[in-house]
Amino acid sequence: MAQSMNAAALAYLGDAVFELWAREMLLAQGLPAHKAHRRAKDIVSATAQADIYHRIYQSLTPGEQTIMRRGRNLNPMNRAKNAETVDYRHATGVEALFGYLYHKQDMQRLEEIFALCINQGIS
């Protein structure tokens, strides 16, 4: 069911999931809320997520790569505000992957991918 879900809906869901996990990670590091908020904005930015797209892509399963490409290939409904269009599209791919895994309730794989993101430099 999750694979047939609209890519835009997956990205919408994944945007919230990614931000929540980033906030939880920052608070777990002991950052006060105001500092965590500033740092989270950097982590969830389109530019940072586009970088994540390129760094984790080869570590994903073929199915996960397909989901990220589906998200990346969406025609954006909004214009990117603080990022290049290409970065915005890659970020949407990352969000689609997070939304897909969350919708599938594959929390173990979601944790693995988030850890991969952290290990690739977003912490």
What residues are labeled active site?
Answer: 15
Tokens at 82, concatenated: 């603080």
CB 55 within 8 A of CB 120: yes
Q: Specify the 3-state DSSP secondary structure of 1.
A: coil
The span from the CA of 8 to the CA of 74, in Å, is 7
The span from the CA of 65 to the CA of 67, in Å, is 5
